[in-house]
């Protein structure tokens, strides 16, 4: 197996090789960025200074909207405007409040944070199961409420972060409903946005998408790669993952569609 560093070098090489042949003519960009942790010392987290530079670029070069605004655009407009961007975070780490939130406020960006409610409740520690962010703390509900009062949107990410296709459909429904109900109780409003744990091919399916519709969700985000969400299934929206090792150049290439070859790698994995 390749190390993370080796995989990144391969991706950078492929991006550099195909960039001269990648036509940007008539390219429609409606991107959803996927972050997890913004932290100064965690190896796998985007550093706060990098995040600030990225958000400044995004705000200067894209029309940055909220996911609910995007949903309304999809519902009412025949064609989306070009260069739309949305910012999302998965899991619910406390550093989203400590380091990301001040930057989001500075640039007026209404991000969405998808919460694993059992993690925020203190019932589980997902960093023990997913060692990438081991040692990071969960958001506190008081921090969630403060951010919600200042424009941050919160969505559901299940209660205990299982891969939904690896448990029974009944257990999956329980995970979805429990996270939705807890968010509703804490925030005083219905949770309508969802992100699949992991979100890669084979981690969700049409049955799970139907459960989300059944329980009143309006959209769901995957981690399937892509820069155009104008015609994507609203319950399988693409996202572009931003990693700790991304240079500023890598970030600009990713948001402008130059790393979209990753989409074809993911499609190939579905059949392996």
Domain enclosing residue 45, as ranges:
27-269
Whether the CB-CB separation of 240 and 256 falls below 8 Å is answered with no
Residue 19 lies in a domain: no
Reduced to 3 states (helix: H, G, I; strand: E, B; else coil), residue 228 is coil
At 124, which CATH number?
3.20.20.370
Residue 257 lies in a domain: yes
Instruction: Give the pLDDT confidence score for residue 116 in this predicted structure.
Output: 98
Instruction: Give the pLDDT confidence score for residue 28 in this predicted structure.
Output: 84
Give pTM, 2 decimals. Answer: 0.92
Residue 13 lies in a domain: no
Instruction: Give the pLDDT confidence score for residue 2 in this predicted structure.
Output: 45
Residue 169 lies in a domain: yes
Whether the CB-CB separation of 269 and 198 falls below 8 Å is answered with no
Instruction: Provide the domain count of the chain.
Output: 1
Instruction: Give the pLDDT confidence score for residue 95 in this predicted structure.
Output: 98
69: DSSP letter? H
Reduced to 3 states (helix: H, G, I; strand: E, B; else coil), residue 35 is strand
Residue 64 lies in a domain: yes
Residue 71 lies in a domain: yes
Residue 218 lies in a domain: yes
Helix H or strand E segment including 102: helix 101-107
pLDDT-flagged residues of the chain (< 50): 1-3
Using alpha carbons, list the distances in angstroms from residue 176 to 55, 73, 157, 212: 31, 26, 8, 8
Instruction: Give the pLDDT confidence score for residue 92 in this predicted structure.
Output: 98
All residues at 6 or more sequence positions from 181 whose CB lies less than 8 Å from its CB, including other chains: none
Residue 185 lies in a domain: yes
């Amino acid at each position: 197996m390749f190390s993370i560093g080796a995989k990144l070098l391969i991706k950078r090489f492929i991006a550099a090789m195909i960039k001269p042949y990648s036509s940007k003519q008539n390219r429609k960009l409606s991107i959803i960025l996927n972050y997890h942790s913004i932290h100064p010392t965690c190896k796998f987290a985007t550093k706060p200074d990098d995040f600030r530079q990225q958000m400044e670029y995004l705000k200067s070069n894209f029309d940055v909207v909220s996911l609910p605004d995007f949903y309304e655009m999809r519902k009412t407009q025949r064609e989306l405007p070009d260069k739309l961007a949305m910012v999302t975070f998965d899991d619910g780490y406390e550093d989203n409040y400590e380091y990301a939130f001040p930057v989001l406020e500075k640039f007026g960006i209404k991000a969405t944070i998808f919460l694993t409610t059992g993690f925020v409740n203190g019932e589980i520690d997902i960093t023990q199961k997913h060692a990438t962010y081991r040692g990071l703390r969960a958001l506190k509900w008081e921090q969630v409420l403060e951010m919600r009062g200042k424009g941050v949107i919160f969505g559901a990410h299940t209660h205990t972060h299982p891969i939904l296709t690896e448990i029974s459909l009944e257990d999956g429904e329980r995970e979805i409903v429990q996270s939705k109900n807890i968010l509703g109780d804490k925030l005083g409003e219905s949770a309508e946005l969802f992100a699949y744990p992991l979100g890669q091919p084979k981690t969700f399916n049409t049955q799970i998408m139907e459960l989300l519709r059944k329980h009143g969700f309006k959209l769901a985000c995957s981690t399937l790669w892509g820069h155009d969400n104008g015609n994507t299934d609203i319950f399988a929206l693409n996202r572009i993952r931003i990693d700790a090792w991304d240079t500023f150049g890598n970030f600009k290439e990713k948001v402008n569609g130059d790393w979209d070859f990753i989409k074809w790698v993911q499609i190939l994995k579905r059949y392996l």
